[in-house]
Amino acid sequence: MTKTIADYPLAETQPETISGLSGKTLSTITLDALIEGSVDMQDLRIAPEALRSQAEIAQAANRPTLAKNFERAAELVQVPQDLIMATYELLRPGRAKSKDEVMAAAKNLRENFGATSIADYIEEAAEVYQRRGLFKFRY
């Protein structure tokens, strides 16, 4: 069911539905569990579902752009850190030397991570950079 403002904060209204990236629920992530060694950073990462729920809540609160950002974020959850940093780097001015390089990055994210809205976003950047002459060498 689509989340609304009444569902917020999720950690208070429905803690049992919240789990980290590796599937551990909020209530099992305790200090004791951490000391025992059964909690690691992966358990403390947000899962795409939570971001999608937050996107629905943001949409319900008339914050459509914030909702879109959460949707894009949901797609990036499974993208490895290095690839995220490389993509960010590629989007900075003068890094990519051609539109194709950026389009290829978008394709990779679309096909290998199902990141469609992120891919659309990067393709839009490629088109705009082309138009504004950003694919040129910067000293």
Partner 1 sequence: MNPTPNRWKRYAGWDERPLRLDKFAAEDAANGFAAFTSPADPKPGLGLNSGRVISLDGVLEHEFDMIDLYIARHHIDPSIAPEAMAIPAGTLARMLVDMHVPREQLVRLAHGLTPAKLAETVSQLNALEIAFAYQKMRARKVPGNQAHVTNAKDDPLQLAADAATAVAFGFDEIETTMRVSRNAWSNALACAVGGAVGRWGTLFQCSSEEAEELRIGMAGFSSYAETVSVYGTEKTFIDGDDTPWSKGFLAAAYASRGIKMRCTSGAGSELLMGFHESKSLLYLEARCLCLQRAMGVQGTQNGGIDGAPITSTVPGGVRELMAENLIAVWLDLECASGNDARTTESEIRVGAKIWPYLVGGSDLICSGFGSILKYDNSFNPSLFNAEEMEDYLVLQRDFEADGGLTPVSETVALDLRARAVEALSAVLEELQLATPTADMKQSVVVASGSDDTRSFSPRETAGISEAIRTRGLTVVDVIKALAKRGFVQEAENLLKVVRLRLSGDYLQTAALVRNGKVLSALNNPNDYLGPGSGYRLSAERREEIINIRDVLDQKEVLRSEGQHEKEEAKRIRYQVLKAAELGLDRTEVVIGISPGFGLKIFQTTAGHRLSDVLAEILSAIKQHGMTARIVRFRHTADTSFLGLSAAGISGSGIGIGLQAKGTAIIHQRGRLPHNNLELFSNAPITKLEHYRGMGNNAAIYAKGEMPDPVIVPQRGEAMGSRYHARTAMIYAIETGLIEESAPPQDITVIFSGRKI
Binding site for partner 1 (CB under 8 A): 5, 8-12, 15, 18-20, 26, 29-31, 34-35, 39-41, 44-47, 50-51, 53-54, 57-58, 61-70, 72-77, 79, 81, 84-85, 87-89, 91-94, 118, 121-122, 124-125, 128-129, 131-132, 134
Rounded Cα distance, 49 and 110, in Å: 19
Pick between residue 27 and residue 111 the one whose CB is nearest to partner 1: 27
CA distance 50 to 40: 19
Q: Shortest approach of partner 1 to residue 40 CB, angstroms?
A: 6
Closer residue to partner 1, CB minimum distance, 45 or 97: 45
User: Among candidates 69, 66, 67, 64, which has minimal Cα distance to 55?
Assistant: 67
Looking at residue 122, its amino acid is I
Q: How far is the CB of 111 from partner 1 (least distance, A)?
A: 18
The nearest distance, CB 108 to partner 1, in angstroms, is 14
- The three-class DSSP label of residue 97 is coil
Query: Number of helices (H) and strands (E), helices first, in the chain?
Result: 7, 0
**C-beta of 14: minimal distance to partner 1 in Å?**
9
Residues in Cβ contact with 84 at an 8 Å cutoff, skipping those fewer than 6 apart: 76
